[in-house]
Amino acid sequence: MKVGIVMGSVSDYPVVERAEKVLKEFGVDYETRIISAHRTPRTAEKFATNAAADGLEVLIAAAGKAAHLGGVMAAFTPLPIIGLPIKSSTMDGLDSLLSMVQMPKGVPVAVVAIDGAENAGLLAVQILSLRYPELRERMIVYKKKMEEEINRMDEEFQKEKK
């Protein structure tokens, strides 16, 4: 099981790194590349076209501003694409988000929140869990742990308020 992560610029890496961390926690291999939809379109096409043959099963596309990377990937591969909009100085990343979610019919890109790298990683794990039951089990444990943590916080909060 392997996820391909593409980002439009090295400046996106501090956000992307958080998706890598999630994938590591779940034991999912990944490959991270810098590929620009606009500045390296032939590289983007080649990467997306060969992604499945190269053993990738899900792609995360992180981009800011005119964030077309996910759409370009989706145009050239049958693999699921997760768009990760990166907050930029322009419109606080809203432009990136809108670029990703406004895909034309037939070219779907699932999109997480602006800078929502953790959710991009988790969504990739959930997609892979359809094929790999051990990931589904790890996701169940993850969600249970998250629930327990929130319940613990609530108990502490309630004690402090008394």
Taking only the tens place, the pLDDT of each residue in 88-98 is: 877 899 999 99
List pLDDT tens digits, range 65-75.
Answer: 888 999 999 99
Q: Are residues 123 and 56 in the same domain?
A: yes
Least confident of 96-100, 113-117, 141-145: 96-100
38/115 same-domain check: yes
Q: What is the pTM of this model?
A: 0.94
Same domain, 123 and 162: no
Q: Domain range spanning residue 157?
A: 133-162
d(CA 18, CA 31): 14
**161 versus 48: which is more confidently predicted?**
48
Which residue do the tokens 């993850």 mark?
142
Residues 119 and 96 in one domain: yes
CA distance linking residue 35 with residue 15, whole number of Å: 16
3-state DSSP of the chain = CEEEEEECCHHHHHHHHHHHHHHHHCCCEEEEEECCCCCCHHHHHHHHHHCCCCCCCEEEEEEECCCCHHHHHHHHCCCCEEEEEECCCCHHHHHHHHHHHCCCCCCCCEECCCCCHHHHHHHHHHHHCCCCHHHHHHHHHHHHHHHHHHHHHHHHHHHHHC
Q: Rounded mean pLDDT of the chain? A: 96
| Residue 105 shares a structural domain with residue 140 | no
